[in-house]
Homo-oligomer: A and B are copies of this chain.
Amino acid sequence: MATFDPTPYQPLTPAMFQVLVSLADGEKHGYGIIKEVARRTDGEVRLRTATLYTVIKRFVDADLIEETDERPDPALDDERRRYYRLTDRGWALAEAEAARLEEVLRQARAHLSRPRRA
């Protein structure tokens, strides 16, 4: 596969990163992403529909996520739903962003753990 350089997409906004993380857990539809993120963050992160559907559109255009044809058991399905999953590029970006955040945190901890200046 052609090498993918994630850096032009970084840093991701908190909303974008949450969308990728949520889809890393398994494919989901839009409203399902909103619910999963809210549940996972104890209601602290509430994606708005304006934000979510804007992000979804951009991510699909950038081939970071893709809509799937697979439908769950018709008994559990809702025809309105549109399901999305991460592409290889999306996975690579999510992992690159996690690595970036870890480096930021490492440096922050190095500065913050020092005793307060005199």
Q: Give the B-binding residues of A (Cβ under 8 A).
A: 11, 14, 17, 21-22, 24-27, 40-41, 85, 91, 94-95, 98, 101-102, 104-105, 107-109, 111-112, 114, 116-117
Copies in the complex: 2
- Contact between B98 and A101, CB atoms less than 8 A apart: no
Contact B102 A116 (CB under 8 A): no
Chain B residues within an 8 Å CB radius of A108: 17, 21, 24, 94, 98, 101
A107 with B21: in contact, given A94-B112, A112-B94 (CB under 8 Å)? yes
Q: How far, in Å, is A94 (CB) from chain B's closest CB? A: 6
The residue on B at minimum CB distance from A107 is: B40
Among the interface residues A27, A108, A116, which one has the most CB atoms of the partner chain B within 10 A?
A108
